């Protein structure tokens, strides 16, 4: 009996030893594989960044590093930049931190620090900073499938000296979501407490929400990127564009909109206004030079809705001219 007991115990001990060896071996193989992948990723990022400097779309990442062991893997940069030569657009940002789960490398989360500067020829410059900015992207073999960006405490200034324009911008929170929908591109944007400062005027905070689908634009998320001619030649289904001043004062637009090759906007929009008189008074107060036009437009809107302070009317856009019923009420310059 004693001999049989010792033999059983010895067999169990061997199994435990072999299991421990297997666990240690698996950990060693995983560790080696992670660091091999990290080294490969760092080399690939360095090569791609270097190659991009010779192309039309270039990117930069100072002091690139790969971190996240053991269960994540991601690229870190002390600062990042982007330069799109065809459109004359360039941008610089602060530190970047990214992470993807080892078992799903195509889904990554990213944090970017400010400050940032975005420049567009000939002399448009947007300087911005924020308290938090993070993004989530899902990528495939042909670029992005969808992406989201959210930020808090945005503050910025847009300067265009040639136009004599300076605009201060702030928002407590903002989000942008894009995703492929067949051949189309779905876009959703929201801004909370958006405030604009124009010279000596500060516009009241407004909540903005946009939901639209751009036809034949899914390829914009592929490696070919956004064409330099955008927004010209685009066709969009505007599901909703809303402005909310609070206190029941809202404006909502919806309907199809297109921009031709010369930049002129055309479309047929449903306009709903809650608080017609309040919007008229606010616009007249902020822009006295438009007070007469604001009164005429508000009167026409109320007339078409039976004199109510809540109005629903049709707007028609033809080659940049905006019509309320049959009457032109404004012009949109070529985009």
- Contact call for residues 235 and 258 (beta carbons, < 8 A): yes
- Contact call for residues 327 and 316 (beta carbons, < 8 A): no
Q: What is the pLDDT of residues 143-167, one digit of tens each?
A: 889 999 999 999 999 999 888 889 9
Residue 288 forms part of a structural domain: yes
Least confident window among 12-16, 33-37, 56-60: 12-16
Is the pLDDT assigned to residue 192 strictly greater than 60?
yes
Residue 96 forms part of a structural domain: no
- Contact call for residues 116 and 92 (beta carbons, < 8 A): yes
Residue 151 forms part of a structural domain: no
Its pTM stands at 0.84
Q: What is the pLDDT of residues 277-315, one digit of tens each?
A: 988 888 888 888 888 888 988 988 888 888 888 889 999
- Number of domains composing the chain: 1
Residue 306 forms part of a structural domain: yes
Residue 254 forms part of a structural domain: yes
CA distance 53 to 105: 25
Residue 111 forms part of a structural domain: no
Would strands 72-77 and 65-67 be described as parallel, antiparallel, or unpaired?
A: antiparallel
Which residue has better confidence, 237 or 121?
237
- Contact call for residues 317 and 332 (beta carbons, < 8 A): yes
Residue 12 forms part of a structural domain: no
Confidence of residue 88 (pLDDT cuts 50, 70, 90): confident
Residue 320 forms part of a structural domain: yes
**Length of the chain (residues):** 335
What the block records as the tokens of 101 is: 């789960």
Per DSSP, the three-state class of 102 is coil
CA-CA-CA-CA dihedral for 165, 168, 174, 180, to nearest 10: 10
Task: Return the sign of the alpha-carbon dihedral for residues 269, 274, 278, 282.
Answer: negative
**What are the phi and psi torsion angles at 217 (to 5°)?**
-115, 5
Is the pLDDT assigned to residue 135 strictly greater than 50?
yes
Kindly report the number of other CB atoms within 10 A of residue 55's CB atom. 10
- C-alpha separations of 335 from 14, 75, 258, 330 in Å: 77, 37, 11, 15
- Percent with pLDDT over 70 in the chain: 96
User: Please, where are the H alpha helices in the chain?
Assistant: 2-52, 276-286, 291-304
Q: Which structural domain, as residue segments, surrounds residue 256?
A: 231-335
Task: Return the sign of the alpha-carbon dihedral for residues 84, 85, 86, 89.
Answer: positive
- C-alpha separations of 6 from 3, 14, 19, 36, 228 in Å: 5, 12, 20, 44, 79
């Amino acid at each position: 009996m004693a001999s049989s007991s010792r033999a059983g115990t010895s067999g169990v001990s061997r199994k435990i030893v072999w299991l421990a060896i297997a666990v240690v071996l698996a950990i060693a193989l995983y560790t080696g594989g992670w660091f091999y992948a990290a080294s490969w990723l760092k080399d690939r990022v360095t090569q791609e960044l270097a190659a991009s400097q010779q192309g039309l779309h270039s990117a930069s990442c100072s002091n690139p590093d790969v971190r996240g062991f053991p269960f994540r893997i991601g690229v870190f940069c002390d600062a990042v930049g982007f330069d799109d030569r065809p459109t004359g657009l360039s941008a610089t940002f602060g530190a970047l931190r990214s992470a993807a789960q080892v078992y799903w490398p195509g889904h990554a989360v990213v944090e970017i620090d400010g400050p940032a500067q975005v420049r567009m020829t000939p002399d448009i410059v947007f300087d911005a900073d924020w308290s938090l900015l993070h993004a989530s992207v899902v990528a495939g073999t042909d670029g992005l499938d969808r992406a989201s960006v959210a930020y808090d405490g945005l503050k910025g200034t847009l300067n265009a000296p040639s136009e004599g324009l300076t605009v201060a911008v702030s928002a407590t929170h903002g989000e942008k979501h894009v995703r492929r929908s067949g051949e189309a591109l779905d876009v959703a944007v929201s801004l909370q407490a958006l405030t604009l400062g124009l010279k000596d005027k500060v516009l009241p905070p407004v909540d903005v929400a946009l939901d639209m689908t751009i036809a034949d634009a899914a390829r914009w998320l592929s490696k070919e990127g956004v064409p330099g001619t955008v927004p010209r030649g685009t066709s969009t289904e505007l599901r909703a564009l809303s402005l909310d001043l609070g206190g029941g004062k809202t404006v909502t637009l919806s309907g199809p909109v297109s921009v031709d090759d010369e930049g002129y906007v055309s479309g047929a929009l449903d306009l709903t206004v809650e608080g017609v008189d309040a919007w008229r008074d606010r616009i007249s107060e902020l822009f006295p030079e438009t007070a007469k036009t604001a009164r005429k437009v508000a009167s026409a809107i109320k007339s078409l809705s039976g004199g109510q302070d809540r109005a629903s009317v049709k707007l028609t856009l033809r080659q940049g001219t905006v019509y309320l019923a049959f009457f032109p009420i404004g012009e949109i310059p070529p985009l």
